[in-house]
Structure 1
Amino acid sequence: MLDIGYSLSPRFPDPPQTDYRQADTHALRHDLFCGDVYLADTEADRELSTAWGWVPVLDFAWALCDIIENLDRDPRGSRAATPQHAELDFTESADRMLFERRFGWVDVEADWMGRDEPPLTFNHGVLRREARDFLHDLIADLTDMHEGLADNPAIWSLQARFPRV
């Protein structure tokens, strides 16, 4: 079972003068909603998480959905034996999450994992569904906390681009 989650950081609050209704894509992806994120394999009781406090969580959710779609470029889908690779780099550091899809499975590892630690492995369809659910749940949480965010056109576009599966 896959669990994707986040926590917002009290050390890096959003600027109080932010007009969430008018915030541009750059601000939404890089300047707001900082915290930490994790991907967990609940059956194996293992997780891959950040502990920096400054990860833009909306950007993480957005990028994760993009990456999962990019891993599905091969028209053979889950029958494709050729590995497909993608990476999620964290802007303020040299750390990356690495994704490799082969057949219907995606291995996820990170630069900060131990060398002997195996990657987390998820079914591609499950990862797609959970990433989109995470994105929509995160947007719902953020719009509850921040007046005007639900009226932001970039948020509308994001939700339309990655509907729940």
Structure 2
Amino acid sequence: MLDIGYALSRRFPDPPHTDYRTADTHALRHDLFCGDIYLADTTTDRELSTAWGWVPVLDFAWALCDIAEELDRDPRGNRSAGPHRARLDFTESTELLHFTRRFGWVEITADWVADSAAEPLSFSHGELRREARDFLHDLVADLTDMHEGLDDNPVVWTLTARYPRV
């Protein structure tokens, strides 16, 4: 089972006096809510995680939802042998998460994992889509509890409407 999580950084706080109601897309994706993320396979007890402290977690959630959709563009869906590839790049780094879909399964690997022989994390595409959207909605709920006005931001409304829970 896929578990996606995050931890906000104390080293990289949001700029003081941020008006979350009017924060634009660039600020929401690149300047706010920095921390670390992880993707874990709870069945095998393996995970891919960052320990940098500066990953924009809302951008990560947004990009993960985009990738789940990108990997599903083949009209044959689960019957498509692929491979269909996508990657998530981290803005302030050369590190990448790689996603490869074959039939209905997605393998996830990371550039920063030292052991090149390490097995990729593997999940059904449906599970990746569902968990990515759940993570996005849970993250937005957490962030709106912590930051006054964020729930009134039209960019956040559009984002959550674009990727409803499955």
Please give the TM-score of this superposition, normalised by the length of structure 1.
0.99
- Structure 1: which 4+ aligned runs deviate by more than 3 Å? none
The answer on 1:141 being equivalent to 2:147 is: no
Per the alignment, residue 25 of structure 2 pairs with 25
Unpaired stretches in structure 2, ≥5 consecutive residues:
none
1:127 aligns with 2:128: yes
Q: Report matched runs for 1:1-40 at 5 Å.
A: 1-40=1-40
Q: Name the Cα RMSD after superposition.
A: 0.4
Q: CA deviation at 1:2?
A: 0.8
Deviates more, 1:84-93 or 1:110-119: 110-119
Q: 1:53-80 CA distances to partner (integer Å, 9 max, x unpaired)?
A: 0000000000000001000000000000
Q: After superposition, what is the alpha-carbon deviation per residue over 1:134-156, rounded to whole angstroms, capped at 9, x for unaligned? A: 00000000000000000000000
Aligned-pair identity (%): 76
Q: Secondary structure at the match of 1:43?
A: coil
Shift of 1:85: 0.2
How many equivalent pairs are there?
165
State the 1:16 CA deviation: 1.4
| Residue ranges of structure 1 left out of the alignment (5+ in a row) | none
1:92-131 map, 5 Å = 92-113=92-113, 114-131=115-132
Structure 2: how far apart are the matches of 1:83 and 1:68? 14
